[in-house]
């Protein structure tokens, strides 16, 4: 016989497979329900069966000889289509079943009653059935009992499925836990193998760190426990000068969501400085709020040292290049100045000598004397020029050592003043204490000569010049003052540099190394040279010679009492 299929057969089969009940082993709960159904309906046979695509399969049975049979031969096939209780009083009188092997042969079914097994969606997946070999009927109480037992079968099915799902979920959880453990172990093995510190921190700074790799000990000399348990660990180990900058960058990246990358200094447990490069990303929760920080710390101390060495080398190269450029400029300036300053005296000597050579016999005694005097003056200028250049070269190369002798410094000043031709036309007043000190007489003479020559060249005729000498603490203070225009404050330092000349009326003749020689000869005496404004207007050049062990044997203007150290401080 052919049993019609329900319209929703594909969906019904899908629901049936969801319970995963077919071809499973016996279970007491279903066996008990089959026996109870037979008892309630006073029938010798009962089954709890499920209708598959081509067969009927009995999960449980009592007195029924088969575990499965053809769907086309089954009473249950009609039960799942009826939607209600299916009762067959005598199968031999029902055309649907007269040819069924279950009727014609074992178990010789004559009576059948079956209730469909309906799931929550209302789909029938099988039937709870009772059978008898004699024709009979089913009273209302038995019908109600059969329906009640059907619901119990479905309850057991749902319970069974729930238990299976729980077991599967538990298995999945166990598998997930195992995979998480394996993943965690692999991650930990990985992060502990690389030469960087890996950490996971909460965004909230008031919470303790979650994880830090053991490389933190190599980086900062602390333990993992210190990092994880000390709330303010980072703040106590970041370099105080770098903390504001790094914290500000962290807050900016936290709020903007940008990757965090910064280099800064940290303090090792032994006190040394460690340069680190920190990179981190901010993980956000389901609400998009910052949640965790995952980052790495890398030791870049060696790289920083290399960068510092490279920077130092670059600075040294740049300084060398600037020095070479300065030397080149110095060479050009020197050649220009020398050629300019030598030309005048040489021209004067040459001209005077030619006149004497050609017209010597025709010249009067006074005329010859004047020419000889001019030649002598020009020769002295040449000598002073060459001497300045030689002194500058020897001082610049550092090969000059002061030859200290007990010397009357005032006498040196008195002997030099008359020989300074550039002072002609100036009113020079000497105010000199008689001071004997251990100095280099030649160096002091060069200081006085260049100071006076500088004053004469840069002041107009009629200028009043004062030269004073006083003991000053542990040394001697020599001053040359004038009531001329003075030296602008902006130029007071640079005029002691080589080849520098004053501005305005103080821009004069010469190589521009005179005051540089003054400063360098003063330095040989552990002293200094500077220029300040003179009280009443004009310039006041001061030279202090320290460690000269001065002895004042007389004074024409009284000794000053200020200490050399105080004067140095005032400068």
With a cut of 70, list the residues of the chain below it in pLDDT: 1-2, 190-191, 193, 327, 330-345, 360, 377-378, 380-396, 399, 499-512, 547-571
CATH assignment, 401-570: 3.30.565.10
Enumerate the CATH 3.30.565.10 domain ranges in the chain, comma separated: 401-570
Distances (CA, A) of 129 to 136, 147, 303, 511: 15, 10, 85, 131
CATH assignment, 9-166: 3.30.450.40
The Cα 108–Cα 496 span in angstroms is 136
Q: Degrees (nearest 5) of the Cα angle 65, 68, 69?
A: 95
Enumerate the CATH 3.30.450.40 domain ranges in the chain, comma separated: 9-166
Enumerate the CATH 1.10.287.130 domain ranges in the chain, comma separated: 307-393
Q: Quick check: helix, strand or coil at residue 150? A: helix
The Cα 168–Cα 297 span in angstroms is 42
**pTM recorded for the entire structure:** 0.41
Given this model, what pLDDT does residue 191 score?
66
Given this model, what pLDDT does residue 558 score?
38
* Domain 195-299 in this protein, CATH class: alpha beta
The Cα 278–Cα 256 span in angstroms is 18
Enumerate the CATH 3.30.450.20 domain ranges in the chain, comma separated: 195-299
Q: Quick check: helix, strand or coil at residue 60? A: strand
* Contacts for 499 with CB less than 8 Å, ≥ 6 apart: 330, 333, 334, 337, 511, 512, 513, 516
Enclosing H/E stretch for 86: strand 86-88
Q: What are residue 60's DSSP bridge partners? A: 48
Distances (CA, A) of 217 to 197, 229, 299, 344: 9, 15, 12, 78
Of the candidates 253, 252, 248, the one whose C-alpha atom is nearest the C-alpha of residue 283 is 253
Relative orientation angle of helices 28-40 and 140-193, to the nearest 10 degrees: 170
Distances (CA, A) of 259 to 210, 249, 255, 279, 295: 20, 10, 11, 8, 10
Q: Quick check: helix, strand or coil at residue 335? A: helix
**Secondary structure string (H, E, C) spanning 486-548:** CCCHHHCCHHHCCCCCCCHHHCCCCCCCHHHHHHHHHHHCCCEEEEEECCCCCEEEEEEEECC
* Contacts for 269 with CB less than 8 Å, ≥ 6 apart: 220, 221, 222
The Cα 456–Cα 436 span in angstroms is 27
Cα atoms in the 13 Å half-sphere on the side-chain side of 8: 12
What CATH number matches the domain at 307-393, 1.25.10.10, 3.20.20.70, 3.40.718.10, 1.10.287.130?
1.10.287.130
Characterize 125-138 residue by residue with b for buried, 16 or more Cβ atoms within 10 angstroms of its Cβ, and e for exposed.
Answer: bbbbbbbbeeebeb
Q: DSSP per residue over 279-299, as a string?
A: EEEEEE-TTS-EEEEEEEEEE
Enclosing H/E stretch for 153: helix 140-193
């Amino acid at each position: 016989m052919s049993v019609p299929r329900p319209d929703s057969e594909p969906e019904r089969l899908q629901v049936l497979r969801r319970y995963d009940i077919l071809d499973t082993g016996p279970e007491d709960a279903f066996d008990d329900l089959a026996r109870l159904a037979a008892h309630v309906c006073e029938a010798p046979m009962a089954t709890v069966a499920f209708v598959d695509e081509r067969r009927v399969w009995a999960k449980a049975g009592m007195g029924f000889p088969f575990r499965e049979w053809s769907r086309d031969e089954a009473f249950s096939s009609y039960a799942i289509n009826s939607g209600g209780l299916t009762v067959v009083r005598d199968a031999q009188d029902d055309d649907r079943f007269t040819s069924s092997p279950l009727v014609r042969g074992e178990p010789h079914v004559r009576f059948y009653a079956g209730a469909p097994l309906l799931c929550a969606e209302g789909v029938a997946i099988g039937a709870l059935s009772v059978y008898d070999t004699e024709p009979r009927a089913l009273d209302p109480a038995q019908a109600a009992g059969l329906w009640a037992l059907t619901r119990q079968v479905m309850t057991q099915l749902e319970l069974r499925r729930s238990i299976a799902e729980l077991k599967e979920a538990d298995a999945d959880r166990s598998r997930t836990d195992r995979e998480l453990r394996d993943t965690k172990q692999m991650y930990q093995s990985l992060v502990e193998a690389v030469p960087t510190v890996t950490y996971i921190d909460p965004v909230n700074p008031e919470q303790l760190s979650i994880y830090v790799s053991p490389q933190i000990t190599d980086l900062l000399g602390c333990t993992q426990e210190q990092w994880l348990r000390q709330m303010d660990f980072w703040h106590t180990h970041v370099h105080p000068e770098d903390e504001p900058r790094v914290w500000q960058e962290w807050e900016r990246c936290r709020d903007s969501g940008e990757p965090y990358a910064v280099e800064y200094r940290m303090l090792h447990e032994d006190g040394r400085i460690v340069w680190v490069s920190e990179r981190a990303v901010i993980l956000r929760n389901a609400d998009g709020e910052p949640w965790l920080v995952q980052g790495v710390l890398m030791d870049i101390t060696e790289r920083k040292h290399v960068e510092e060495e490279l920077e130092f080398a670059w600075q040294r190269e740049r300084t060398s290049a600037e020095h070479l450029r300065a030397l080149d400029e110095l060479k050009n300036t020197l050649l220009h100045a020398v050629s300019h300053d030598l030309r005048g005296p040489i021209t004067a000597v040459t001209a005077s000598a030619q006149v004497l050579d050609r017209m010597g016999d025709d010249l009067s005694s006074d005329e010859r004397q004047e020419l000889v005097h001019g030649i002598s003056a020009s020769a002295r200028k040449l000598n002073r020029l060459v001497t300045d250049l030689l002194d500058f070269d020897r001082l610049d190369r550092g090969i000059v050592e002061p030859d200290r002798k007990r010397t009357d410094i005032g006498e040196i000043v008195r002997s030099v003043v008359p020989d300074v031709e550039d002072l002609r036309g100036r009113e020079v007043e000497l105010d000199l204490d008689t001071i004997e000190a251990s100095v280099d007489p030649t160096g002091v003479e060069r200081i006085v000569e260049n100071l006076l020559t500088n004053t004469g060249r840069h002041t107009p005729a009629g200028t009043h010049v004062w030269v004073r000498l006083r003991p000053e603490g542990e040394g001697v203070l020599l001053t040359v003052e004038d009531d001329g225009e003075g030296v602008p404050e902006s130029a007071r330092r640079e005029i002691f540099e080589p080849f520098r000349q004053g501005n305005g009326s103080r821009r004069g003749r010469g190589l521009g190394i005179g005051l540089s020689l003054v400063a360098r000869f003063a330095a040989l005496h552990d002293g200094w040279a500077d220029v300040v404004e003179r009280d009443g207007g004009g310039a006041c050049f001061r030279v202090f010679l320290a460690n000269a062990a001065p002895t004042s044997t007389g004074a024409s203007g009284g000794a000053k009492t200020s200490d050399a150290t105080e004067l140095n401080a005032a400068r």
